[in-house]
Amino acid sequence: MKLEDIKKIAVIGSGAMGHGIAQVCIMAGYTVVMVDVKQEFLDNGMKKVKESMDFLVGKGKLSAEDKDRMMGQLSTSLDNKAAVADVQVVIEAVPEIMDLKKKVFADVSSAAPAEALLASNTSTMSITEIATAVTKPERFLGMHFFNPVNRMKLVEVIFGEKTSAENVDLLCELSKKIGKIPVKVLKDSPGFIVNRIGAPNQALISAILDEGAIKPDEIDAIMKQMGMPMGPFELADYVGIDVFYHTLKYYSETLSKDFTPGKTLQALLDKGDLGMKTGKGIYEWEGGKAKIDTSKTSTEITPMEFLAIQVNEAVRVYKEGIAESVEDIDQGMVHGMRAFAGPFTLAAGTDPKQLTDTLNKLHAKYGLDIFKPEPEIQDGSFKTMGK
C-alpha cells in the first residue's frame, strides 16, 4: 500500500485523544469513521470536533465552507467490525487497559482489509504484546500522538518486534500528511522516547516531595522565571496525580524499582487529592490555576538538576537503540514536550564536569541509581554521539 491509496481511516475511541485524531485526519482530507461503545460518547466527541473547528473559523484560519465539508467527511459507528470493513488505516485510542486493547484489535484485525495498517495510540503499553492479538502483526505498530492532538506536532511511530519497516515508513508519511512531525521509535521500550526521557525527573519530583526539605513552590518559581509555562510540580497536578502515580508505578515494574512512587504521592492518591481535576493536589487550585507562592526560589534544586537528569536519560535512550539519532531525540522533546530545545542541544555548551557533579550529588542525596551519570556524560563524549 502507498500513501495515495489511503482514503479512509477508522478511529476507535472518541475521547480527548480519539476525537482529536479524527479532527486532524478530516482536516487533511481523509474520510473518517469514529467508533465507540456508547452513542453519548460519540455525540460528545462530534461536539468537541465541531467546537474546535468553529474556533478555527472564528479565528479566520478556516472557512465555514471548508469546515462544513470536513465535518461531512466524519461519521460515527457503534460497531467496530462494520466500521473497519473498508478502511486502509485503523487508529485505536481506547483507555490504557491491555486486555481492552487486545480485544479491540482481535475484532478489528479479523474485520479490516488484510493490508490495512493497525495502529495503537498507547502512551505506555507494549506494542509487541498488543500485536499478539492481531492477524498479520507486521502491519501493527504504535502511533503515539501527544495531547492536545490538534496543537501538538509530534507523533512517535513505534516498531513492535514483528512490525515491517515499510509499514513504519508509510505511517510516517501519513503522519506528515496530517500535519504532524513523526519520529521513529526503533525499539518497543517503556515510555518510548519522550516519556522515557522525562521519567527520571518524575522520580526526582517524588523524592523531593518525600524528603520535604524544599517547598515545591520554590522550584516551580525558578522554573517560571526561566520562561517555562509550568513548573514540574504544577505540571504533575495539571496532568493528574493519579496519572503521574500510575506512570511511575509502570516504570517501576518495567524499568527500575527506583521509579516506585513515594509515600507522598501515595497519600495524595489515597485521599483523592488528584490536582487540578479535584481542586487540590500538591497545590490548591482555583479557577483552573494553582496557588503558588513565587516569592522565594530554590538554590538547591534548579533547572540544572532537571537538565542533567534529562541528558543522562537521553544518552541511555540513544545507547539502547530506541531512537534512530540524537536529532530525533531532540526533535521529539521539542515537539512532544514543548521544550525550548532538546537535551543534546541544551547541554552542548555545558561543562561535562558540571553535569557529572550534579548527577552525583543527586545520587548521593536521594540514593537512586537512575541518577548515576553515564560514562558518556562523565567524559563529555555525549556531545559527539551519533556524529
Helix (H) or strand (E) segment spanning residue 141? strand 140-145
| Domain final residue, candidates 157, 185, 213 | 185
Q: Which three cell numbers stand for residue 385?
A: 554521539
Q: What is the mean pLDDT of residues 365-378?
A: 97
Vertex 326: Cα angle to 20 and 137 (nearest 5): 55
Q: What is the mean pLDDT of residues 60-89?
A: 96
32 beta partners: 9, 74
Query: Does the pLDDT value for residue 312 go beyond 90?
Result: yes
Q: Are 385 and 376 in contact (CB under 8 A)?
A: yes
Mean pLDDT of the chain: 94
Q: How many angstroms separate the first and last alpha carbons of the chain?
A: 34
| Domain final residue, candidates 135, 156, 185 | 185
Q: How large a percentage of the chain has pLDDT more than 90?
A: 90
The count of domains in the chain is 2
Q: How confident is the model at residue 169 (pLDDT cuts 50, 70, 90)?
A: very high
Q: What is the pLDDT of residue 96?
A: 85
Q: How confident is the model at residue 164 (pLDDT cuts 50, 70, 90)?
A: very high
Same domain, 196 and 129: no
Q: What is the pLDDT of residue 97?
A: 86
Same domain, 160 and 271: no
| Domain final residue, candidates 121, 153, 185 | 185
Query: Does the pLDDT value for residue 16 go beyond 90?
Result: no
Query: Does the pLDDT value for residue 329 go beyond 90?
Result: yes
Same domain, 181 and 92: yes
Same domain, 242 and 97: no
The amino acid at 286:
E
Q: Are 317 and 343 in contact (CB under 8 A)?
A: no
Domain span holding position 100: 3-185
Query: Does the pLDDT value for residue 95 go beyond 90?
Result: no
From the list 114, 107, 105, 121, the residue with the least C-alpha distance to 87 is: 114
Same domain, 150 and 237: no
Q: What is the pLDDT of residue 386?
A: 84
* Per-residue CA distances from 5 to 9, 22, 34, 110, 192 (Å): 11, 18, 20, 21, 29
Query: Does the pLDDT value for residue 338 go beyond 90?
Result: no
Phi, psi (degrees; rounded to nearest 5) at 164: -85, 145
Q: Are 12 and 103 in contact (CB under 8 A)?
A: no
pTM above 0.85, yes or no: yes
Q: What is the pLDDT of residue 337?
A: 87
Q: What is the mean pLDDT of residues 316-321?
A: 96
Q: Encode pLDDT of 178-218 as tens digits.
A: 999 999 999 999 999 999 999 999 999 999 999 999 999 99
Same domain, 173 and 276: no
From the list 168, 77, 187, 92, the residue with the least C-alpha distance to 130 is: 92
Query: Does the pLDDT value for residue 226 go beyond 90?
Result: no
Q: Encode pLDDT of 253-276 as tens digits.
A: 999 999 999 999 999 999 999 999
Query: In whole angstroms, what is the distance from residue 256 CA to residue 228 CA?
Result: 29
Q: How confident is the model at residue 245 (pLDDT cuts 50, 70, 90)?
A: very high
Same domain, 170 and 256: no
Residues marked active site are found at: 144
Same domain, 166 and 264: no
CA contacts within 13 A on the Cβ side of 323: 28
Same domain, 379 and 263: yes
- CATH number, domain of 200, equals 1.10.1040.50
Q: How confident is the model at residue 124 (pLDDT cuts 50, 70, 90)?
A: confident
Query: Does the pLDDT value for residue 347 go beyond 90?
Result: yes
Query: In whole angstroms, what is the distance from residue 143 CA to residue 118 CA?
Result: 9
